Amino acid sequence: MKRVRIISLRDDRKALLEHLQDSALIQIKRGDKSEKGFSKVNMTSQTQVFERNVSLTEQALKILDDNVKEKKGLLSSFAGRREVDPDEIGEIAKNASDVMSVCRRIVDLNKICTDNASEAIRIKTSLAQLEAWQGLDIPINTSDTKSTAVFIGTLPEEYDEKKLSERLAEENPKLEFEFEIQHTEHNMTCLVLFAPISQKTMAEDALRAIGFARPMAQTTHTPKVKAERLNKRLAELSVESEKAIEEIKSFAEKREEIKVTQDYFRIRADKYNVINELDHTRHVFVINGYIPEEDCDKLTALCDRVAACYIEFEDAGDDAPVKLKNNRFAKPAQSILTMYAAPSHADIDPTPLLAFFFYFFFGMMFSDAGYGLLMVIAIGIVLKVFKPDEKMRNNLKLFQYCGVSTLFWGLVFGSIFGDAPATLYNHFSGSSITMKELLPWPTIDPQKDALMLMIISIAFGLVHILVGMGCKFYICLKEKDYKAAFFDTGFWMLMLTGFAVLAVGMATTQLVFYIGVGIALFSAVGLVLTQGRNKKGFGKVIGGLASLYDVTSYISDLLSYSRLLALGLTTGVMAQVFNMLATMFGTSIFGSVILVIIMLIGHAINIGLNALGSYVHTMRLQYVEMFSKFYEGGGKEFEPFSLNSKYIKIQEEKIK
């Protein structure tokens, strides 16, 4: 990685930045302070305009999606961004104003619908409150007359006329009143009460004592008239909202234009955000950034073609971002690595090793030739038909390579959709044959040879851990930390190798066994003598002896690889169970139809569950068991200034 500095005329800024954005060659270094003699140009207001436009288009698209679902195929999510000719960007810019008007109209129409929905809720609440007063022939807010006090409201209990008269008389025997009960229900009575105006205070006190409350629905019209008016308004709102929704739907054909316009403003916002970070004088501007060493000549040629520039390169230093470079086999696994952490400059790029072990262990866990073949073929078709973007393509290639490994291990374990070939042959022929007898090559049965497979799994785990420790050994040598390489890593590698030789000797000859014991003892002595080297006095011995306790950690790590057996066994057993269930309905036409349905559904469930389990547990083995031995991470991934678009990409072969 190189640090690059480009100085160019301000008049050429637009053209140069656009070509740099198209080429995605450099990562622009951002800083708060300007160099002496330079200053920042404030483009915040322009940037905010573009970002608001992006937000507006996102709102409009969401509203369209809520009202008119976009017609997409089942696999359309794999499709890449639409390619556009560079000349088409000019047309997009030209039409941007009209498209934004459409977006604003969509948002305004949606606001009408939202406001109408809120008003409709309020109307329905009012109608519910008026429902109990429909028999009332005077307005609810009727006021007192010259001679009569009027009380319209509710009581928190259910009363009939007799009970209410008695209760009011109890409260004030001198009170004179007439009342009419409008509505009763559990825990509520709606009434109208009249009393002489001279006894208004007495009536208020009596009613207050039994919980009287004025109704919330106050109106100058009778409840019946008010309800009619509210229902009419409710119908008007419904019609208005329907018209607004229909108009929104009419803009569905503008969806693609809105998408490309959104990308246009997103690209412009990114460019203006970069301008905010650049140092300027009255006549020139400066770009500071990082570029992969192999792209320096491309950048020089681009700048010479576009503008008059001064370019200088220098070593980037340890704070530079990291750009991973891997071949076609390893590149799909880069996403697994960066999900954990990008490598620092002190690390090595472990992607090739990660890729090999990831594919290998995934296949061993999923371990079915039928499933693996399906993965390879299905992903191959998707790659061919949909031509996805690079990121999606790499993710799909990751699983395609895992499918190849799954196919291999399925053949080793004799598993093709479980034992489907043998089950179907036995079901329709009445014979009794096993997969081992059916297949022309020797196989390992995870159910019958579980102990052997456990030993194989742990052996693979030992190799995996030793590779991780070997990486640590190499890093220490590269940093010239020879003590850490040979004492802290080398002796442990030797001890684990000794244990492996010892285990082989237990199954073969005594000589091999003694060789393993000798290697392990030599390593143990070496650890005791060196692991306390940074301590003083007797602490050197204690530190060395205490280090041997770490052997339990390595044993625990090795036992983690038993999941290779466990998940491989789970995949095969579940497949066999579904195959057995499928054959329980006989060989009739009905039974055959049920057989097909159960096998399709059953194997789909098995693929979904165990592919996920294999993916997660394979990642765990990489992150926890291997990376913990050598990988520090903490690097920054190279993020070039590029066309950060969501829906379109510029046709690369036509970029000038």
- My answer on whether 35 and 54 are in the same domain is no
pLDDT at 230: 94
Query: Do both 90 and 46 map to the same domain?
Result: yes
Give 69's pLDDT tier (boundaries 50, 70, 90). Answer: confident
Tens digit of each residue's pLDDT (9 = 90 or more) over 388-446: 888 889 999 999 999 999 999 999 999 999 999 999 999 888 888 888 889 999 999 99
Q: Tell whether 470 and 594 lie within a shared domain.
A: yes
Q: Are residues 37 and 56 in the same domain?
A: no
Per mean pLDDT, which range of 423-437, 526-540, 586-600 is the poorest?
Answer: 526-540
CA dihedral 59, 62, 63, 66 (to 10 degrees): -160
Residue appearing with tokens 């109990």: 132
Q: Can you tell me the distance from the alpha carbon of 2 to that of 315, in angstroms, rounded to the nearest whole number?
A: 5
Instruction: Please count the structural domains in the chain.
Output: 4
- Mean pLDDT across 456-481: 93
Q: What is the pLDDT of residues 347-388, one digit of tens each?
A: 899 999 999 999 999 999 999 999 999 999 999 999 998 888
CA pseudo-torsion sign 612, 615, 620, 621: positive
CA distance 5 to 19: 16
Half-sphere exposure of 55 (CA within 13 A, CB side): 6
Residues 454 and 376 in one domain: yes
Same domain, 289 and 178: no
Instruction: Residue 57: give the domain boundaries.
Output: 42-128+228-268
Q: Are residues 566 and 457 in the same domain?
A: yes
Share of the chain above pLDDT 70, in %: 98
SS3 state at 148:
strand
Coil/strand/helix, residue 454: helix
Is residue 436 a part of any domain in this protein? no
Please check whether residues 262 and 355 belong to one and the same domain.
no
Reference 18, options 97, 96, 86; nearest CA is 86
Do the beta carbons of residue 627 and residue 347 sit within 8 Å?
no
Are 89 and 166 members of one domain?
Answer: no
Q: Are 257 and 100 in contact (CB under 8 A)?
A: no
565 with 618, same domain: the answer is yes
| Full-model pTM | 0.81
HEC profile of 490-517: HHHHHHHHHHHHHHHHHHCCHHHHHHHH
Tokens 């159960």 locate to 598
CA dihedral of residues 117, 119, 125, 130 (deg, nearest 10): -130
Give backbone dihedrals phi and psi of 388, rounded to 5 degrees, phi first. Answer: -70, 165
Residues 55, 34 share a domain: no
Can you say whether the dihedral through the CA atoms of 28, 32, 36, 39 is positive or negative?
positive
DSSP state of 142: P
Mean pLDDT of 210-221: 87
What does 274-308 look like in DSSP terms, one character per residue? HHHHSEE-SSEEEEEEEE-GGGHHHHHHHHHHHS-
**Residue, of 653 and 286, whose pLDDT is higher:** 286
Per-residue pLDDT at 205 exceeds 90 = yes
